[in-house]
Amino acid sequence: MRRRSLRSPPRSEALRPHSPAEGFSGKAAELWKDLRVSHGTPPATKMSSKRAKAKTTKKRPQRATSNVFAMFDQSQIQEFKEAFNMIDQNRDGFIDKEDLHDMLASLGKNPTDEYLEGMMSEAPGPINFTMFLTMFGEKLNGTDPEDVIRNAFACFDEEASGFIHEDHLRELLTTMGDRFTDEEVDEMYREAPIDKKGNFNYVEFTRILKHGAKDKDD
């Protein structure tokens, strides 16, 4: 049995965390959307010492910033945790330069070494979850969940049509990150707005997640 079961809309939990495709859940999507815009050539070398440094000083940022948790309620903290897990590709509890590169590469981007260094330099120390919350919490707090979810879907809508074909979306959800099963995708699609050609209307779907399905009599 999987750790969490997928529930049908209108509940926003219908999309689980961890993969870029499922960044649709809350503020995780906003961070992912910000990160996906990088351009350039692939880094020439891989960073191997960053993680070692993180292990030697990993408690320092947490002690210095632990009161940041008082700024958010539990649901907000969970959303930030989803964003953190999405980027922490190797699941070692820290975000390093390789994690950022791997996530962006999975989105079809080729971040430059300079771009990645710039992102890492924003942190005064190793980026564990507490440091991550400190860095991004203020930036992401207060975003409109409906816009965030819609923008996350839009990243896969190359024609900006408001639709993604259900087969393509299924492929994303079942092959990236903490993968959905086909049964879970079926459950999500059960009440989703999909036309006869198989086009998933993500604009309407985000409205359903936010406001609930319209009554048939309306």
pTM score > 0.75 for this model? no
Nearest Cα neighbor of 99 from 137, 79, 138, 126 is 126
Residue 7 lies in a domain: no
In a domain, 166, yes or no: yes
Three-state DSSP at 93 gives coil
pLDDT tens digit sequence for 177-205: 668 899 999 998 988 999 999 999 999 98
What share of the chain in percent tops pLDDT 90?
14
Domain contains 10 = no
- Closest by Cα among 22, 3, 4, 35 to 202: 22
Q: Is 52 exposed, middle or buried (0-12, 13-18, 19+ CB in 10 A)?
A: exposed
Higher pLDDT, 196 or 42: 196
**Tens-place pLDDT, residues 104-157:** 777 677 878 888 888 788 777 788 988 888 776 655 555 556 777 788 788 888
| 21, 72: one domain | yes
- The answer as to whether 5 is a domain residue is no
Domain with 193, as residue range(s), is 145-211
Neighbours of 66 (CB within 10 A): 12
The CATH code of the domain that includes 197 is 1.10.238.10
The better pLDDT of the pair 217, 205 is held by 205
Asked whether 127 and 94 are in contact (CB, 8 A), the reply is yes
Per-residue 3-state assignment (H helix, E strand, C coil) for 126-192: CECHHHHHHHHHHHHCCCCHHHHHHHHHHCCCCCCCCEEEHHHHHHHHHHCCCCCCHHHHHHHHCCC
